[in-house]
Amino acid sequence: MTTKKDEAKNLSQKIAELDTAVDWFYGEDFNLSEAIERYEQAAKLAKDIETDLKTLKNKITVIEKDFSEE
């Protein structure tokens, strides 16, 4: 079972990985033959981050609801 700390860490790691992927496009190592594959990887990672953020938002909403009922 993952803890909230693990989930946040994973999200932070994914965001850092996405930053690195985006930086590659602006770096000296950029080459067109790799660009499509790296773009697809970055797009998948961005989608994973979006999913994680939606999950966290839903958890926060549930917690807020629980507190408002008390």
| Residue 43 lies in domain | 4-69
DSSP state of 27: S
Structural domains in the chain (count): 1
Look at residue 56 and tell me whether its pLDDT is greater than 60: yes
End-to-end CA distance of the chain: 28
pLDDT in tens, 17-55: 999 999 999 999 999 999 999 999 999 999 999 999 999
Q: Are 46 and 18 in contact (CB under 8 A)?
A: yes
| All residues at 6 or more sequence positions from 10 whose CB lies less than 8 Å from its CB, including other chains | 2, 52
- pTM exceeds 0.85: no
Q: Are 46 and 22 in contact (CB under 8 A)?
A: no
